[in-house]
Structure 1
Amino acid sequence: MSDITLNAPKLFDLSGQVAVVTGAGSGIGQRIAIGLAQCGADVALLDRRTDDGLANTAHHIQATGRRSIQIAADVTSKSSLGDAVARIEAELGALTLAVNAAGIANANPAEEMEEEQYQTLMDINLKGVFLSCQAEARAMLKNGGGSIVNIASMSGVIVNRGLSQAHYNASKAGVIHMSKSLAMEWVDRGIRVNTISPGYTATPMNTRPEMIDQTRLFEEQTPMQRMATVDEIVGPAVFLLSNAASFVTGVDLLVDGGFCCW
């Protein structure tokens, strides 16, 4: 052992850190944003939603005693993201942590898919992650480093049985490899970049009443015989962002209930 004085629990402490979470108005992004606040971070909440999703996230963060700000922004807009980062640093302080969870999902047979459907998804899921990382890293490089976690999907590793979503699968595979590439570009300048690839997760999108038959199949196909809860994505995110993962970069962490083992 090199340092027996190491305080292991404090490795996961995010106190004093400023984070941004895209897609913070619902689902995985919302729960991760709250989780980061519970671990001590102040959190900027970014989403293009027009409902009360961001306000709900902010309400839960307020209960932790941490600060948050709500930012309506489009991840496909470079200028919008640049303005968002500038506001974050002006109101919360130097940006050091980021989780890019904004994304969409839909399906259509490849031979029937319109170009607009393909391009819209790729713009949000892949271009949006790149532009988010770019804006965040520019601040982090100035601030001496940081950690970025991009939410990908097991669909970037395998092809989901019964789902016609070639564009979605390709976008998530792109997020994984792009994140590895960015990790290597910034590895000697203090920025770590990793991805989380969730398996089937009980988000509002996957638990709609009309999804009940599809949900049953998701559970049957997963070795653990259930979907993940959004709570189960928080721990992996905190780990990758924290000092507990100080020697971890360019990694894709599968959180899939064993799905990719079969």
Structure 2
Amino acid sequence: MTSATPHELPTERTAIVTGAASPRGIGRATAHRLAREGWAVAVIDLDENAARSVAAEVAENYGQATCGIGLDVTDRAGAFAAVERINAELPQLVGLVNNAGISSPTPFLEVTDEEWRRVIDVNLHGAFHITQAAARTMAANEVGRIVNVASASAQRGGGVYGRAAYSASKAALLGFARTLARELGPHGITANSVSPGSIDTDIMGGRLSEDRKQVLLQELPVGRIGTVDDVAGVIAFLLGPDGGYLTGVTYDVNGGSHIA
């Protein structure tokens, strides 16, 4: 394994991507993008068989070391065990993409305690568990890159696909990343967020009718719906060598919807 001086990225490095097995998801596209750029990749997903399948697919396509792990990110002990396995099987852990999450279209006045806690537990507590486990390894090696996948819903106050519980959890991820940037910076770790807008993913699939698409296009200066690769490219940049002086920032990957 190639060594590096403190705060520099090692030549051989691993990134964890959570929620990375969805067929048309941001996580899967990110796993492919990172492997294409030379990263070993740990694919984590609730569906273990799907995680292993994606990991094998990535390894075959790019010749990088991978592993697929089935994990419920709300399981703290499981998260720490997953990182321990990754440390044993793959090159030095440097990157973490907190992508695992669930949506909640329930209007606020109808949200139950159970629904609220379910969304917060996956989207926020899950990110906390895997981040603390991974960050301890990063801090010991004095280098790391963390990217939280938030949402435009966190900034605009909900939307079509995610309302109160979802927006609150994603807004929390923005604050979480900024706090990590402050606390972990002295350990050579950066922490940033991406905030996707209208992206053509499985979450949007089935809800993105042609009429709805036309309405969205009127709000987007770029004139098209975003793709998972649009988001994956920004994540890869933030994890890579050129992202080393960026921390505590949020990249709005929304086609200009906030200025429309």
Same topology, TM > 0.5: yes
Please say if 1:151 is aligned against 2:161: no
- Is the 1:110–1:164 contact (alpha carbons within 8 Å) kept by the matching residues of 2? no
Q: 1:82 to 1:163 in 2, by over 3 A?
A: closer
Please say if 1:17 is aligned against 2:27: no
1:166 pairs with one of 164, 167, 173: 164
Q: 1:68 to 1:118 in 2, by over 3 A?
A: same
Q: Deviations over 1:2-41 (max 9, x none)?
A: xxxxxxxxxxx98511111101102000100111000001
Matches within 5 A, 1:37-186: 37-49=35-47, 52=50, 54-161=52-159, 165-186=163-184
Distance 2:10 2:203 in 1: 30
Distance 1:111 1:201 in 2: 27
Q: Deviations over 1:193-216 (max 9, x none)?
A: 0001111100122122x5414444
- Is the 1:121–1:167 contact (alpha carbons within 8 Å) kept by the matching residues of 2? yes
Q: Match for 1:119: what amino acid?
A: R
Deviation at 1:60, TM superposition (A): 3.1
- Is the 2:161–2:204 contact (alpha carbons within 8 Å) kept by the matching residues of 1? no
Which is worse superposed, 47-56 or 133-142?
A: 47-56
- Is the 2:103–2:161 contact (alpha carbons within 8 Å) kept by the matching residues of 1? no
Please say if 1:236 is aligned against 2:241: no
Distance 1:87 1:113 in 2: 37
* Pairs aligned (count): 249
Distance 2:212 2:132 in 1: 36
Distance 1:141 1:132 in 2: 14
Q: 1:254 to 1:67 in 2, by over 3 A?
A: same
Deviation at 1:165, TM superposition (A): 0.6
Q: Match for 2:13: what amino acid?
A: Q
SS of 2:93's partner is coil
Which is worse superposed, 175-184 or 213-222?
A: 213-222
- Is the 1:31–1:230 contact (alpha carbons within 8 Å) kept by the matching residues of 2? yes
Query: Percent identity, aligned pairs only?
Result: 35
With normalisation by structure 2, the TM-score equals: 0.90
Distance 1:59 1:216 in 2: 34
- Is the 1:24–1:54 contact (alpha carbons within 8 Å) kept by the matching residues of 2? no
Q: Match for 2:18: what amino acid?
A: T
Q: 1:104 to 1:216 in 2, by over 3 A?
A: farther
Could you list the runs of 5+ residues in structure 1 that have no partner in the other structure? 1-12
Distance 2:212 2:49 in 1: 27
Q: 1:231 to 1:163 in 2, by over 3 A?
A: closer
SS of 1:52's partner is helix
Distance 1:204 1:74 in 2: 19
Deviation at 1:94, TM superposition (A): 2.2
SS of 1:25's partner is coil
Q: Match for 1:142: what amino acid?
A: A
With normalisation by structure 1, the TM-score equals: 0.89
Distance 1:56 1:22 in 2: 12
Distance 1:14 1:154 in 2: 33
Deviation at 1:161, TM superposition (A): 4.9
Distance 2:162 2:21 in 1: 27
Once superposed, what is the RMSD of the aligned Cα atoms? 1.9
Deviation at 1:90, TM superposition (A): 0.5
